Amino acid sequence: MKNIILIGFMGVGKGTIARAFCAHMEMVGLDTDDIIESMENRSIKEVFAAQGEAYFRAKESQVASWLSKHVKNTLISTGGGFFMVENLNKIGTVVYLKSSFEGILERILTHPNAEQKLAKRPLFADKEKAKALFDKRAPLYEKKADIVLHVEGKSIQDIVKELKKRL
């Protein structure tokens, strides 16, 4: 089976959906932010603060090339900017988890650990800037996607079922 790559904006639920899908399908999952945190032995927030965004993007490219060479049969969830790496589609089937910005904001703000969710995402610190980033990226996610999955207002269970059907 080809890898499945989940892309989409920060907070859309890539990690949550990935875990539910892996459990349902009894398959293995990887997360590009987790890989970078283990390569760096520090959090994404610390990487951004110490080395800046360009360094982080270079790490994402390194991870992308490793994934395309060495990983198969895996569900890969990604950081919100990972879709910009070269040859994304060579890694596997790209699935865009689509929601409006308002839907994402509501999902984050109604989460019991909302503050923690926001604090670990440096690019979400300023809501207006995050919205501008969302507007810029939304059409780009669509362009890279083999499958566009609308997730807003849907239960995780329904999203998992729909993804399974559409692969």
- Of 44 and 67, which has the nearer Cβ to ligand S3P? 44
Distance CA 92, CA 88 (A): 8
- Of 3 and 134, which has the nearer Cβ to ligand S3P? 134
Residue 151 three-state SS: coil
Distance CA 140, CA 137 (A): 5
Cβ 87 to ligand S3P, closest distance in Å?
18
Question: What token pair was written down for 120?
Answer: 């670990």
Task: Catalog residues that contact ligand S3P under the rule CB under 6 A.
Answer: 10, 14, 33, 44, 79-81, 121-123
- Of 1 and 58, which has the nearer Cβ to ligand S3P? 58
Cβ 49 to ligand S3P, closest distance in Å?
11
- Which residues fall in the annotated binding site? 11-16, 33, 57, 80, 121, 137
DSSP classification of residue 60? H
Closest alpha carbon to 40 in 29, 27, 51: 51
Cβ 36 to ligand S3P, closest distance in Å?
8
- Which residues fall in the annotated binding site for substrate? 33, 57, 80, 137
Distance CA 164, CA 62 (A): 29
Closest alpha carbon to 96 in 77, 72, 122: 77
Cβ 44 to ligand S3P, closest distance in Å?
5
Residue nearest ligand S3P by beta-carbon distance: 79
